[in-house]
């Protein structure tokens, strides 16, 4: 950035896009749900319900109004922070999301940590040892994890570690009959630590290992390939050769000059990977019966629960858009070469 004023203008322009992008996404969700096959009345009452019962429920749910009126009411509720009421359970959508979102965030945080540790380590070793066995195995690992179908990998890991070996639970967040700690934060592991419940702490870690490791390993291929390619390219730059020719220690050249210059593309890829967690987490949560927001979205779609689907998509979109904008702002702040 040429100046702080330019940086401020850029940040302001990116933040201005937030409501516009969310409006477009929420509008698309509204339209797609209305034109998709299926009727929420049939999902609630069944196809054999009489016409009077069907019409009464349709009026109660507000589905008898013209689409434009439903859309205006939907936008008005969104502006006021009201995500609506579930058509099936009649619970506030906010409450449904507040119960499920912490479970998804807990899984996402541990998955990203595992993906970063494994992926960056493999990518780093491959970049500093080009054309070696380590580099070759790292490439195979990156391609393999990137191309594996998440549901297939999840089922395979379940069969090996839960069914055949019996080392870890096959799914869920806690064993049946276990009493969860008081929901202070919504994060089960953190709540059990705050509650000082050793048994639940141990149990929650056991249940978290398989889904988080599965998702983390699947995502780690992206991290390893990104770091390896960027670091390999940086190590060929003239200023790296100049630093070496001046007698600077190789480790110092690597950690002080090469690695910092791979930060920006890695930061971008990390931000984009968070978005891919939405699709990957859906299959992982279903396979491992993880009671997160992605599993809730799948159930709401099956039941044609418009408010829940709309609310979940709006919340997920908000998180993804805010992370993307945050990454853009961070890059603009860190990299002096960026100009707008």
- Paired with 85 in beta bridges are 92
C-alpha 243/C-alpha 259 separation (Å) is 14
Task: Using pLDDT thresholds of 50, 70 and 90, give the confidence band for residue 72.
Answer: confident
C-alpha 241/C-alpha 228 separation (Å) is 18
Mean pLDDT, range 333-337, rounded to an integer: 63
Domains delineated in the chain = 1-88+304-340 (no CATH), 93-302 (1.10.3720.10)
Mean pLDDT, range 195-215, rounded to an integer: 88
Mean pLDDT (the chain) is 79
Mean pLDDT, range 37-57, rounded to an integer: 70
In this predicted structure, the answer to whether residue 53 has a pLDDT above a threshold of 50 is yes
In this predicted structure, the answer to whether residue 1 has a pLDDT above a threshold of 60 is no
pLDDT digits (tens, 9 = 90+) for 81-134: 888 888 777 788 888 888 888 888 888 888 888 988 888 888 888 877 877 888
Contact 206, 168 (CB under 8 A): yes
Residues 6+ apart with CB under 8 A from 248: none
Listed range (27-41, 117-131, 138-152, 302-316) with the worst mean pLDDT: 27-41
Contact 214, 154 (CB under 8 A): yes
CB-count burial class (<10 Å; 0-12, 13-18, 19+) for 249? exposed
For 147, 163, 205, 209, 246, the CA distances from 158, given in Å and listed in that order, are: 19, 6, 16, 11, 54
């Amino acid at each position: 950035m040429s100046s702080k004023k330019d940086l401020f203008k850029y940040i302001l322009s990116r933040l201005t896009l937030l409501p516009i992008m969310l409006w477009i996404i929420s509008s698309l969700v509204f339209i797609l749900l209305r034109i998709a096959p299926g009727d929420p009345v049939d999902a609630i009452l069944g196809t054999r319900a009489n016409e009077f019962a069907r019409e009464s429920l349709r009026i109660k749910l507000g589905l008898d109004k013209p689409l434009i009126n439903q859309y205006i009411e939907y936008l008005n509720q969104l502006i006021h922070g009201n995500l609506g009421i579930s058509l099936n359970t009649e619970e506030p959508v906010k409450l449904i999301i507040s119960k499920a979102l912490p479970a998804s965030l807990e899984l996402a945080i541990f998955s990203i940590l595992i993906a970063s540790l494994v992926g960056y380590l493999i990518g780093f070793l491959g970049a500093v040892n080009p054309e070696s066995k380590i580099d070759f195995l790292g490439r195979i690992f990156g391609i393999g994890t990137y191309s594996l179908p998440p549901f297939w990998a999840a089922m395979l890991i379940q069969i090996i570690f839960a069914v055949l070996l019996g080392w870890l639970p096959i799914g869920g967040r806690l064993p049946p009959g276990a009493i969860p700690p008081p929901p202070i934060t919504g994060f089960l592991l953190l709540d059990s630590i705050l509650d000082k419940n050793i048994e639940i702490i141990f149990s929650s870690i056991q249940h978290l290992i398989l889904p988080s490791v599965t998702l983390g390993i699947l995502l780690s291929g992206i991290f390893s390939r990104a770091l390896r390619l960027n670091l390999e390219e940086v190590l060929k730059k003239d200023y790296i050769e100049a630093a070496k020719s001046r007698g600077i220690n190789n480790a110092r050249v690597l950690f002080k000059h090469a690695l910092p210059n791979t930060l920006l593309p890695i930061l971008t890829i990390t931000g984009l990977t968070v978005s891919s967690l939405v699709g990957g987490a859906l299959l992982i949560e279903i396979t491992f019966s993880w009671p997160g927001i992605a599993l809730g979205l799948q159930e709401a779609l099956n039941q044609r629960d418009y408010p829940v689907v709309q609310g979940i998509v709006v919340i997920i979109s908000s998180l993804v858009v805010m992370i993307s904008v945050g990454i853009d702002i961070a890059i603009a702040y860190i990299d002096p070469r960026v100009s707008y």
